[in-house]
Amino acid sequence: MMQLGYIPPAELKSISMRALIVGVIFTVLLLIGAVVDRTQFFHAYLVGFIFWIGITLGSLALLMLQHLTGGVWGLIIRRVLEAATRTLPLMVILFVPIIIGLKQIFPKWTSSAFMNQTAALQQKAHFLSPGFFLTRAAIYFAFWSLVALLLNWLSLEQDRTDKKAFRKRMQMISGPGLAFLIVSITFASIDWVMSLEPGWTSTIFGLIFVASWSLSALSLTILTMSWLSRREPMNAVVQRSHFHDWGNLLLTLVMLWTYFAFSQYLLIWSGNLPEETSWYVARKHGGWGVIALGIVILQFAFPFLTLLSRAAKKSSDRLARLALLILIMRVLDVIWLIEPAYNPERFHLSWMDVVAPIGIGGLWIATFAWQLQKRSLMPINDPQIEQALQPAHEH
């Protein structure tokens, strides 16, 4: 059911089409790259997939957080978050190339010779086996899809029936759902990224991904809301106070990611064990060191200082530009996490590392914009809707 006053802008259709064209063009370029260098294709493909699945799952995390905490800040962006979670079927399809390129993406643990080198690796051999790896991936996607499906269906039913019981049901799902989401993201990050170097472990690695994926999702949400706030009907709904709330949450996630990332570095640095420090050694020299410094400055220091300003958080333009910067740095961060695993001795960056995120991103944004068109931009029968539509000084 779509209330007349909250019909999505017609421009979303053209955005979806243009994004699809970009996605197809860059995907074709990526496929050409697969012919030229099959191994590098799969390495770059993992970069693009990890970045965009992060936005999908980060949106699911923020959606459940909103259902648990309530508040106008999340009610205004609920439809955007829901549309982002409905890109999950696309991500399931896009996981297929990872299955096909398992040996190219994970050359170490798919080699029995490598896994038999030490006793520690032998203990991980069963966990890091193709069959168990794919079983876990199926469980992750099944859980994520089920939760996203239930939350989207209940939200739609709330619009259709005006029953307050649906809000309670969404809260009941979101409590355990958020806990299991954090656990599943932790295991997925271990499977898909940390296992690139099976001899290396970190107990904080999964939490870094929980924070960074939520940061990516909120950044894209802020960009979307900045665009919507300039068009009907959301120009009459979104207020400066809402951007201030989203800016505060963005600051929180920036600090949370920094805390986890720095804690991991500090623990490994203080332990000074060769099997642990080798991970950072590969990522601090040459071009990787420059990228690491850029991430520290542009994904933490600059956003942190900017978001301390109340005026910056209330400005949709400034907040949107900052969100775009964070998204760019998030892509570089994913490249920094993944590519040195394949080339630990030297700096190596392929043109496919840029093409893959754009190609997958075009398909993702096309799907996202298409899904955003399908429902009212506001949850019209939510109990907090009247509060959300009041002027800022009234709430």
- Read off the pLDDT of residues 336-354 as tens digits, 9 standing for 90 and up: 999 999 998 889 999 999 9
Residues sharing a CB contact under 8 Å with residue 359, sequence separation 6 or more, in sequence order: 23, 25, 26, 27, 29, 30, 48
Sign of the torsion formed by the C-alpha atoms of 18, 20, 23 and 27: negative
The closest of 158, 189, 188 to 171, measured between CA atoms, is 158
Looking at the chain, the whole-number percentage of residues with pLDDT higher than 90 is: 84
- Torsional class of 3: left (φ above 0), alpha (ψ -120 to 50), beta (otherwise): beta
Residues sharing a CB contact under 8 Å with residue 171, sequence separation 6 or more, in sequence order: 67, 68
Token pair listed for 317: 């333009």
pLDDT, residue 386, reads: 75
Token pair listed for 166: 């649906």
Distance between CA 255 and CA 77 in Å, rounded?
22
Mutual orientation of helices 130-161 and 72-85 as an angle, nearest 10°? Answer: 130
pLDDT, residue 4, reads: 47
pLDDT (tens digit per residue) in 71-129? 788 899 999 999 999 999 999 999 999 999 999 999 999 999 999 998 989 999 999 99
Answer for the pair 21, 249: CB distance below 8 angstroms, yes or no. no
When the pLDDT of each residue in the chain is averaged and rounded to a whole number, the result is 93
AA identity, residue 210: V
The closest of 75, 37, 73, 42 to 248, measured between CA atoms, is 73
Confidence of residue 393 (pLDDT cuts 50, 70, 90): very low
pLDDT of 362 over the 80 cut? yes
Between 130-144, 197-211, 267-281, the lowest mean confidence (pLDDT) is in: 267-281
CA–CA–CA angle 257, 192, 281 (5° rounding): 65
Confidence of residue 258 (pLDDT cuts 50, 70, 90): very high
pLDDT (tens digit per residue) in 205-234? 999 999 999 999 999 999 999 999 999 889
Residues sharing a CB contact under 8 Å with residue 168, sequence separation 6 or more, in sequence order: none
Distance between CA 228 and CA 180 in Å, rounded?
32
Distance between CA 44 and CA 32 in Å, rounded?
13
pLDDT of 394 over the 70 cut? no
What value does the mean pLDDT take over residues 16-23?
Answer: 98
pLDDT, residue 160, reads: 84
The closest of 61, 54, 51, 59 to 79, measured between CA atoms, is 59
* Per-state percent for the chain, helix, strand, coil, to nearest 5: 80, 0, 20
pLDDT of 14 over the 70 cut? yes
The closest of 107, 112, 118 to 341, measured between CA atoms, is 107
pLDDT (tens digit per residue) in 260-300? 999 999 999 998 888 889 999 999 988 999 999 999 999 99
pLDDT of 382 over the 50 cut? yes
Confidence of residue 5 (pLDDT cuts 50, 70, 90): low
Answer for the pair 282, 340: CB distance below 8 angstroms, yes or no. yes
The whole-model pTM stands at: 0.95
Looking at the chain, the whole-number percentage of residues with pLDDT higher than 70 is: 97
AA identity, residue 188: A
pLDDT, residue 79, reads: 96
Confidence of residue 395 (pLDDT cuts 50, 70, 90): very low
Sequence-ordered strand ranges (E) for 68-189:
none
pLDDT, residue 369, reads: 98
Q: Locate tokens 């960056």: which residue?
A: 349
